[in-house]
Amino acid sequence: MNWLHAVLLGIVEGVTEFLPVSSTGHLNVVEKLLGYEIDSVGMTAFTAVIQIGAIFAAIVYFWGDIVRIASAWLAGLRHADRRDDPDWRLGWGIILGSIPVAVVGLLFKDAIEGSLRSLWVIAGALIAWSFVMWLADRRTGNERGMKDVTVTDALVIGCFQALSPVFPGISRSGATISAGLFRRFDRVTATRLSFFMGIPALVAAGLLEAVTAADHISESVGWVPTGIATLVSFVVAYVSIAWLLKFVSSNDFTSFIWYRIALGLVLIGLVVGGFVAP
């Protein structure tokens, strides 16, 4: 992979990782258009590893929140009288809510890295999940905020999150934000929960691929382009996070829904027309 491709793919990852439009779907499409085999072990590992850049952007952006939640969770372990703190519940929720995606990722690893990385699957999931997002967005009543999060909420969000690696195109953030909206959280809280729930899952997935598929990256994509794409994704994702939180504070998700549907239809048209292989 040359450095121009690495920069381009890093930008795509940084822009789309936290938007409810499917970063994996976008990466797969761009990788296809650039001539790469998206179901190869090397490209699959590359896609997972450069997500680390975006997720570290989230860690930096939310560092104060992360320290506060971790401190409250540790304090609750030591002192029973500290367990009324909402951050104690949120800490447990993030931990337990991360289990479903880990289990699904390990059980369906071969399919996720192979047959499911198809443009037909991505296009279908983009369009189908758009209707779920539309329904979820219409159900939100701004009734609940961050202090109202329970372990049950986190588990529900975690189960929705587990759908995203199986069906690239659903979008991890699209799934978790939809779950938050179904749980009657306001849009900003649902979006922030999506970030918090994504940190453990994406860091674990990226590090696992970096360790287990290191040789494949070396032999195919190369570690220098992977490092460049990861760095670019970090910078771009930080800006994307700030923009998204500002956007959802005063807008609904309609624009993302229409974008998903349009992109899905374009992909179907490209495949049917023979312009790109599925």
209-230: per-residue pLDDT in tens? Answer: 777 777 777 778 888 999 999 9
Q: How confident is the model at residue 41 (pLDDT cuts 50, 70, 90)?
A: confident
Predicted local distance difference test score (pLDDT) of residue 221: 82
Residue type at 182 in one-letter notation: F
**Residue 166 within any structural domain of the chain:** yes
Q: How confident is the model at residue 107 (pLDDT cuts 50, 70, 90)?
A: confident
Q: How confident is the model at residue 111 (pLDDT cuts 50, 70, 90)?
A: low
Q: How far is CA 100 from CA 97, 106, 197, 208, in A?
A: 7, 10, 11, 17
Lowest mean pLDDT among 4-8, 35-39, 153-157, 255-259: 35-39
Q: How confident is the model at residue 246 (pLDDT cuts 50, 70, 90)?
A: very high
Q: Name the DSSP class of 1.
A: -
Question: Are 18 and 173 spatial neighbours (Cβ–Cβ below 8 Å)?
Answer: yes
**Residue 232 within any structural domain of the chain:** yes
Residue type at 114 in one-letter notation: G
CA-CA distance, 116 to 19, in Å (whole number)?
Answer: 21
Q: How confident is the model at residue 232 (pLDDT cuts 50, 70, 90)?
A: very high
* SS3 at position 88: helix
CA-CA distance, 68 to 70, in Å (whole number)?
Answer: 6
Average model confidence (pLDDT) across the chain: 86
**Residue 151 within any structural domain of the chain:** yes
Give the mean model confidence (pLDDT) for residues 243-266. 93
CA-CA distance, 246 to 216, in Å (whole number)?
Answer: 39
* Residue span of the structural domain in which 79 resides: 3-272
CA-CA distance, 160 to 69, in Å (whole number)?
Answer: 22
**Residue 49 within any structural domain of the chain:** yes
Contacts of residue 161, defined as CB under 8 A and 6 or more positions apart, other chains included, come to: 97, 100, 101, 172, 175, 176, 179, 197, 198, 201
**Residue 278 within any structural domain of the chain:** no
100-104, 110-114, 175-179 — most confident range: 175-179
Predicted local distance difference test score (pLDDT) of residue 108: 66
Contacts of residue 191, defined as CB under 8 A and 6 or more positions apart, other chains included, come to: 173, 177, 180, 244, 245, 248
Q: Is the pLDDT of residue 159 over 80?
A: yes
> Which one has a higher pLDDT value, 272 or 25?
272
Q: How confident is the model at residue 241 (pLDDT cuts 50, 70, 90)?
A: very high
pLDDT in tens, 54-94: 989 999 999 999 999 999 999 998 888 888 888 999 999 89
Question: Are 14 and 236 spatial neighbours (Cβ–Cβ below 8 Å)?
Answer: yes
pLDDT in tens, 162-213: 888 788 788 888 999 999 999 999 999 999 999 998 888 878 777 777 777 7
**Residue 136 within any structural domain of the chain:** yes
**Residue 160 within any structural domain of the chain:** yes
Q: Is the pLDDT of residue 277 over 80?
A: no
Phi, psi torsion values for 24, nearest 5 degrees: -65, -40
**Residue 277 within any structural domain of the chain:** no
State how many domains the chain has: 1
Taking the CA atoms of 48, 54, 59 and 62 in sequence, report the sign of the dihedral they define.
negative
Q: How confident is the model at residue 114 (pLDDT cuts 50, 70, 90)?
A: low
Q: Is the pLDDT of residue 237 over 90?
A: yes
Predicted local distance difference test score (pLDDT) of residue 113: 59
Q: Which helix (H) or strand (E) holds 27?
A: helix 23-33
